[in-house]
Amino acid sequence: MESEKRRGERLRRSGLKCTPRRKDVLRILEQNSQPVTAERIFMALKEEGTGISLSTVYRILEALAEKGLVLKISSAESDGALFVLNRRVHRHYMVCLGCHKMLPVDECPLGDLEKKLERETGFAVTGHRLEIYGYCRECQKARSKTNSH
């Protein structure tokens, strides 16, 4: 985990003012390996006794995303955006339709396809996203119990 001092340095290097609330939001994101909603960050801060509004959390997340410190992920299965600390690691996710858990996929199956498309079409690919939907083991078990009754 990053220290508070390093969080401040990250903010300053990105051109953002180093505020206690921005550092708080970064800290909560560091503690989560999976993408989280602004509401979840807001609730975590409230539980700690941090005085912050949900709209402020959204504004901070948008500023952090604009500067590349945070990745904003829109999921077809989620009502709103999800946010994850940008650890400079290319990542895709499997999304459980039951519990909405997001499991990272370790390797990218699209790298070779990107190169092929660039060669064939002249299209300059700058990035991509991939989400795979299904049910995790726990939800599969729960579904099979429900369906057997």
Q: Could you report the per-residue pLDDT of 61-79, keeping only the tens digit for each?
A: 999 999 889 888 876 656 6
Residue 47 pLDDT grade (very low, low, confident, very high; cuts 50, 70, 90) = very high
Rounded Cα distance between 144 and 139, Å, is 8
Q: What is the pLDDT of residue 58?
A: 95
Q: How many CA atoms lie within 13 A of 96 on its CB side?
A: 17
Q: How far apart are CA 87 and CA 99, in angstroms?
A: 25
Q: What is the pLDDT of residue 75?
A: 65
- In degrees and rounded to multiples of 5, residue 114 shows phi and psi of -55, -50
Contact between residue 121 and residue 115 where contact means Cβ atoms under 8 Å apart: no
Q: What pLDDT is attached to residue 98?
A: 87
Residue pair 83/65 in contact (Cβ under 8 Å)? The answer is yes
Rounded CA-CA distance 9/7 in Å is 5
The pLDDT > 70 percentage for the chain reads 93
pLDDT at 113 over 60: yes
Structural domains for the chain: 1-88 (1.10.10.10), 90-149 (3.30.1490.190)
pLDDT at position 1 over 60: no
Residue 2 has pLDDT above 70, yes or no: no
pLDDT of residue 92: 81
pLDDT at residue 56 is higher than 90? yes
Residue 149 has a pLDDT of: 62
The pTM of the full predicted model, rounded to 2 decimals, is 0.65
Any long-range contacts for 73-78 (C-beta under 8 Å, 24+ apart)? 73/35, 73/129, 75/35, 75/131, 76/131, 76/133, 77/131, 77/133, 78/37
Structure tokens that stand for 85 in this block? 């600390």
Q: Average pLDDT, whole number, for the chain?
A: 86
Give pLDDT, residue 76: 61
